Amino acid sequence: MPQNYDVVIIGGGVVGCMTARFLSRTSLSILLIEKDADIGMGASSANSAIVHAGYDPVPGSLKAKTNVAANAIWDTVAGELSIPFDRRGDYVVAVGSEELPGLEKLLEQGRQNGVPGMHIISAEEMRHREPNINPAVSGALWAPTGGICDPFMATVAAAENAVQNGVTLLLETAFEGFILDGRKVAGVHTSRGDFGCRWVINAAGMYADAVMHKAGTHPEFKITPRRGEYMILDKAEITINNVLFPVPSEKGKGILVTASLHGNTLVGPNAQVLDDPEDTAVTREGLDDTWSGARKLIPGLSPRGVIAVFAGLRAMGNAPCKTPGVDYHHDFLIECDAEVQGLINLGGIESPGLTAAPAIALMVMDLMKEAGEKLEYKRSWNPIRPPRPRFHELNREAQDALIRQDPRYGRMICRCEEITEGEIVAEIHAPIPARTYDAIKRRTWLGTGRCLGSFDMPRVVEILSRELGVSPFEITKKGHNSAFLQRETKNLEA
């Protein structure tokens, strides 16, 4: 007899986790399943970390609608969930006079989408606001509602709040198929057995099309992986305090140069269409593309400053925009499935998916209501996810007080990002325990600095082993088949 839930959400990315979090306000019983060893290991862990203003998506599209709606509530969501977020505004920078008309077009598009406060500034003003900008700048579009966030914590915080409010999370649990009652959802088969349910929310990211096809719906829908490669530059090298986009082309928003919340500069992504939905390898050519794109905006960037490179995949869909008269074929798919009752599809959620996630979650609730589900709000729902202390964000007095309370905050494990043993232990024992090196990295930013974890790695393996009560040989970087250590020395037979 399978365990029953009202709702099963497939996929623990930012969209699935935000949906779980908003739905946790209702009396529905919810199961969130994730195939990997941690939440947020896909696109949610490798993106530009931008909360977009919303001038970029095609007017009338769901991308535009959810982007602008979500942007307006990001302060509330980030405040409730303690997600690091800084609404510092963003720029689209025109280089050379030929790019100036592009700014006008974006400004008009932004107005149609309902983006507040935008205006075009002069080249001189742009040079003043960003002294490192390409001297050939011809003007810029300023959007004060743009911002930067911590995408890892957005996912973790949403999931954690969901779990605090009664959602069940199962990691390393892969969706394998539907249990259908005619054309109605009755449950799911997973790698951990069957679960009964009335609703399935398909937030499977790169595999959203495969989930639909398992239900026998949307045979035409296809996710195309589009890889983007990024570089992170050391905070010590050149300080960029702004979020700078180039004028977009047909290929997308282009390669941006942006401040990060951790003081480093992030550049990227390029865009390359692939077949393999797991191919997050960085390439020589891709990094070259990214580098030349970044240098177009900030010519003074030095390759010496590069401290990390990574690649992320965007789940580009092929859903046509449903607004009459809008010719656009890569829109978000957000719908109650027309053929399978109880299935909600969230497909093709590429950029601005991180920004839009809270609005997508609210749309899901509306879709369920429209389909006749009575959503009753729990009085006990607590929207607040309390933050955990971050040593390097505290002043000296607060640091001192924290160490006196728990001496483990006095032991520095990651010297570059100043992450202490106390923070690591807190994440290992959090509501969603961090059980791998990368899980700790995503939650604390440990190992993301200039030494890339060379110093902290042996210490983190030791702490994980001690706190989880398992042998160091079982400690992995990212789950299955990614252990750090193989055997003891002088013990060849073992």
Partner 1 sequence: MKTIQSKYDVVVIGSGPAGLAAAIAAKKEGAEDVLVIDRDLEPGGILLQCIHNGFGLETFQQDLPGPSYAQRFIDEAVGLGVELLLDTMVLDITSQRKVTVSNRFMGIADIDARSIVLAMGCRERTRAQIRLPGFRPAGVFTAGTAQRWVNVEGYMPGSRFVILGSGDIGMIMARRLSLEGAKVERVLEIMPFLTGLTRNYVQCLNDYDIPLQLSHTVNRIIGKNRVEAIESVQVDERWNPIPGTSEIIPCDTLLLSVGLIPENELSKKAGVRIDPITGGPYVDDTFQTNVPGIFAAGNVVHVYDLVDWVTEAGLASGRSAARFATTVRNSEIRHIPLVAGENVRYVVPHELDKDNLANGEIRLQLRVKTPIEAPTRIEVSDGENLVTRKVEPYARPGEIITLTISPRAYDDVQRAGRLVVSAVKR
Q: Which of 210, 261, 451, 468 binds partner 1 (CB under 8 A)?
A: 451
| 278 makes contact with partner 1 (CB under 8 A) | yes
Least distance (Å) from partner 1 to the CB of residue 304?
A: 8
Alpha-helix residue ranges (DSSP H) falling in 82-144: 100-113, 123-129
115: left (phi over 0), alpha (psi -120 to 50) or beta: beta
Q: Is 236 in the site for partner 1 (CB under 8 A)?
A: yes
The catalytic position among 52, 119, 128, 213 is: 52
Of 42 and 54, nearer to partner 1 (C-beta) is 42
Binding to partner 1 in span 361-400, by CB under 8 A: 396-397, 399-400
Q: Which of 206, 368, 416, 432 binds partner 1 (CB under 8 A)?
A: 416
Is residue 336 a contact residue for partner 1 (CB under 8 A)?
Answer: no
Q: Is the peptide bond before 84 cis (omega within 30 degrees of 0)?
A: no
Distance in angstroms (rounded) separating the CA atoms of residues 483 and 267: 30
457 touches partner 1 by CB under 8 A: yes
Contact 174, 191 (CB under 8 A): yes
**Residue 44 binds partner 1 (CB under 8 A):** no
Using CB under 8 A as the binding rule, whether residue 487 contacts partner 1 is answered as yes
Any contact of residue 488 with partner 1 (CB under 8 A)?
A: yes
Cα–Cα–Cα angle for 11, 15, 16, nearest 5°? 35
Residue from the set 200, 203, 306, 432 that interacts with partner 1 by CB under 8 A = 306
Could you count the other beta carbons within 10 Å of the beta carbon of residue 471?
10
Taking the least distance from each CB to partner 1, the nearer of 193 and 407 is: 407
Phi, psi of 387 (to 5 degrees): -75, 160
Q: Could you give the CA distance from residue 442 to residue 157 in angstroms, rounded to a whole number?
A: 12
- Beta carbon nearer to partner 1, 210 or 483: 483
x-or-dash string of contact with partner 1, 202-231, rule CB under 8 A: -----------------------------x
CA distance 255 to 290: 6
Query: How many angstroms separate the CA atoms of 179 and 188, rounded?
Result: 5
Chain position carrying tokens 């399935």: 200
Torsion angles phi and psi, residue 65, rounded to 5? -65, -50
Q: Tokens at residue 35, please?
A: 């195939």
**Sole binder of partner 1 in the list 376, 454, 466, 470 (CB under 8 A):** 454
One character per residue 60-79, x = contact with partner 1 (rule: CB under 8 A):
--------------------
486 contributes a contact to partner 1 by CB under 8 A: yes
Alpha-carbon distances of 150 from 53, 80, 164, 262, rounded to whole Å:
16, 15, 21, 9
Nearest to 182 by CA among 339, 337, 336: 339
| Active site annotation includes 52 | yes
- Give least dist CB 489 to partner 1, A: 5
Amino acid in position 174: A
Residue 452: CB minimum distance to partner 1, A: 4
408 binds partner 1 (CB under 8 A): yes
DSSP string, 391-460: GGGS-HHHHHHHHHH-GGGGSEEETTTTEEHHHHHHHHTSSS---SHHHHHHHH-TT-STTTTTTTHHHH
Q: State how far the Cα of 486 lies from the Cα of 456, in Å rounded to an integer.
A: 19
Number of residues that bind partner 1 (CB under 8 A): 59
Stretch that binds partner 1, among 200-208, 255-263, 332-340, 410-418 (CB under 8 A): 410-418
Query: So which residues are the catalytic ones?
Result: 52
| Residues lying near partner 1 in the complex (CB under 8 A) | 231-232, 236, 278, 280-284, 287, 303-304, 306-310, 396-397, 399-401, 403-404, 407-408, 410-412, 415-416, 418, 437, 450-452, 454-455, 457-458, 462, 472-473, 476-490, 492
